[in-house]
Amino acid sequence: MDLSRFAFARPHVLLIEAPGGTGARLALERVLRERGCPLADSPADADILAVAGGPLEQFADRVWEQLPGPRARFDLSDPEYAAAELDGAAGQLRELSRQRADAASRRPPLLSESDMDMDMPAGLQMADREPDRDGLQLDVLHLPWGPALPWWPAGLVVHSRMQGDVLADAQVSRIGGETPAAGFWLAAADSVGPARAGAAARLDSLTRLLAVAGWEAERLRAQRIRDDLLSAEPPAQTHQALRRLHRRVGRSSTLARMCAGVAGNGGVDVTARYRQWLTDAVAAVDTGADPPAAAPAEDISGLLTELLTGTELSAARLLVASLDPWLSGALVSGGRRV
């Protein structure tokens, strides 16, 4: 048996969404789920870098440099070709000469010893020190989050000053427009009807939240139901599966406790937000009408900046995920609700 075929039967894929790549991401997530290919959390765990809606230029290149190799990458703009592109990339992983040439052309990240000095060891900027939220001196690190980050709204960039795992402050910027996913969900509403599209949009945001909250099983189930809702002929058991999801996730006291009190805004926290998505998704499918979704604020980027400051990393990720429908534009589009 060909060993590399065996080893790379389920390549790990780092899937990143560029603005406007919602359709491509959904198609890829579906293929990967059906083939049992794990989605990588970081470049170190990835064999293939897939940019949905690509090419995301220098951001994706920075990530690409960090893939260990054997490695392959592709940008997908047409959802039709998701399976074909993935096959092609998996094939490249097994091309020995190609991978050898790639490995030989790479430089190690370590700079030479002459770059060593007290202020810049290995050419790296030393961390500054500033008072933290308790008034103690603590290292400050400048870290950007996004846009090339899995489970992250397309085109969102958060420049943070990190002290330990706390975002001491955050600056939010966007690339590729304010509501990059709105077009996709409008088209989906035209093809499968507003009710199913509305429910699927909410489930899509839920999958990201579940991924960040570390609940893989329910994330996979939510993806399945979302994909079924968007298919031409949803299987008969889709409604029942959605109701089961609502029961298990909506009533999970553990998840509720992990998300409670995170990013409260007018009494609405992360828990309240995802419960509302589930309730709305079930209502949409039951009644055949897309229930209205009120945005938490006029200026969603402004709200994000305000809420992010002073949060701990995992709370920050939950917060971003809970604002996903409005950051991506899945539930708002130029005044017209999808």
Which stretches of the chain bind another protein, using CB under 8 A? 3-4, 6-12, 33-34, 36, 41-42, 44-45, 47, 66, 68-70, 103, 108-111, 121-124, 141, 143, 149-151, 162, 164-165, 210-218, 220-221, 224, 252, 254-255, 257-258, 312-315, 317-318
Q: Min. distance of Cβ 122 from another protein in angstroms?
A: 4
Q: Min. distance of Cβ 182 from another protein in angstroms?
A: 26
- Residues in CB range of 94: below 8 A, 6 or more apart: 2, 4, 5, 8, 70
Q: Nearer to another protein by C-beta: 29 or 280?
A: 29
> How many CA atoms lie within 13 Å of 213's alpha carbon, on the beta-carbon side?
28
Q: Min. distance of Cβ 332 from another protein in angstroms?
A: 25
Q: Nearer to another protein by C-beta: 57 or 65?
A: 65
Smallest CA-to-CA distance from 195 within 337, 20, 26 is with: 337
Q: Nearer to another protein by C-beta: 78 or 312?
A: 312
Q: Nearer to another protein by C-beta: 248 or 337?
A: 248
31, 86 Cβ separation under 8 angstroms: yes
Q: Nearer to another protein by C-beta: 253 or 335?
A: 253
130 backbone φψ class: left, alpha, beta (φ>0; ψ -120 to 50): beta
φ and ψ of 208, to 5 deg: -70, -40
Q: Min. distance of Cβ 246 from another protein in angstroms?
A: 16
Q: Min. distance of Cβ 3 from another protein in angstroms?
A: 7
Q: Nearer to another protein by C-beta: 160 or 179?
A: 160
Give the strand pairing for 72-76 and 128-131.
unpaired
Q: Min. distance of Cβ 134 from another protein in angstroms?
A: 15
Q: Nearer to another protein by C-beta: 77 or 231?
A: 231
Q: Min. distance of Cβ 36 from another protein in angstroms?
A: 6
**Rounded-to-integer distance, Cα 327 and Cα 152, Å:** 10
Q: Nearer to another protein by C-beta: 221 or 273?
A: 221
16, 150 Cβ separation under 8 angstroms: yes
Q: Min. distance of Cβ 15 from another protein in angstroms?
A: 13
